[in-house]
């Protein structure tokens, strides 16, 4: 069967205050993070029912991402982005996550610096092949 639909639930410009950075002075303060998230998912059930229980709830995503950022206290944005993407794919019903995490105050001469990553849920094909009983 061909997939003809591509749906996204997104969050743009989520701000989180968290400990982030490699330098000693950064470990002693919090800095703002600016986060964009795109979760590729199937929105058909929610589009049909008009029930938030059928939706990938972006309020829950924002609350979780804020809590994870503040708990992780990462040194590198790369590490933080990887952890958030993995946790989103584990907790939420989505098959692809694109995520950017930026530090808007890190470099005086730049609007923002950061990383953007895309991660995919493990495909069913990745699971070990179970014998169908036809082996010799
Ligand atoms: N690719 C990265 N480079 C740098 C990072 C980072 O997280 N990823 N972090 C820093 C410092 O923490 C910096 O933000 C202090 O201004 C430097 N380079």
Residue 29 Cβ inside 6 Å of ligand 1? The answer reads: no
Query: What is d(CA 38, CA 21) in angstroms, rounded to the nearest whole number?
Result: 24
- What are the distances in angstroms from CA 3 to CA 6, 7, 42, 43? 8, 11, 11, 14
Query: Of 78, 1, 6, 72, which Cα lies nearest the Cα of 39?
Result: 6
In a domain, residue 56? The reply is yes
Residue 83 DSSP symbol: H
- Protein residue with its CA nearest to atom 5 in ligand 1: 76
The CATH number for 61's domain is 3.30.1130.10
Per-residue pLDDT tens over the stretch 73-96: 999 999 999 999 999 999 999 999
Mean pLDDT by 10 residues, the chain (136 residues): 83 98 98 98 98 98 98 98 98 98 98 98 66 48
Q: How many domains does the chain have?
A: 1
Q: Please state the atom number of ligand 1 nearest to the C-alpha of residue 22.
A: 12
In a domain, residue 117? The reply is no
Question: Which residues are catalytically annotated?
Answer: 103
Q: What is the dihedral of CA 114, 65, 99, 89, to 10 degrees?
A: 140
Q: Are 14 and 104 in contact (CB under 8 A)?
A: no
Query: What is d(CA 38, CA 92) in angstroms, rounded to the nearest whole number?
Result: 12
CA of 73 to the centre of ligand 1 (A): 13
Provide CB contacts within 8 A for 136, sequence distance 6+. Answer: none
Q: Please state the atom number of ligand 1 nearest to the C-alpha of residue 20.
A: 12
The complex scores an ipTM of: 0.97
**Predicted pLDDT at 131:** 45
pTM of model > 0.80: yes
CA of 113 to the centre of ligand 1 (A): 8
Q: Which domain holds residue 66?
A: 7-107
């Amino acid at each position: 069967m061909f997939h003809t639909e591509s749906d996204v639930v997104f969050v743009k410009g989520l701000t989180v205050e968290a400990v982030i950075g490699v330098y000693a002075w950064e470990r002693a303060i919090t800095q703002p993070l600016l986060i964009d998230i795109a979760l590729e998912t199937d929105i058909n059930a929610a589009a049909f029912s008009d029930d938030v229980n059928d939706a990938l709830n972006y309020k829950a995503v924002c609350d979780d991402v804020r809590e994870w950022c503040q708990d992780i206290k990462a040194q590198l944005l790369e590490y933080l982005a990887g952890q958030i993407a993995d946790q989103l794919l584990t907790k939420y019903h989505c098959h692809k996550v694109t995520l950017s995490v930026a530090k808007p105050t890190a470099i005086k001469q730049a609007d923002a610096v950061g990383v953007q990553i895309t991660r995919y849920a493990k495909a069913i094909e990745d699971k070990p092949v179970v014998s169908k009983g036809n082996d010799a």
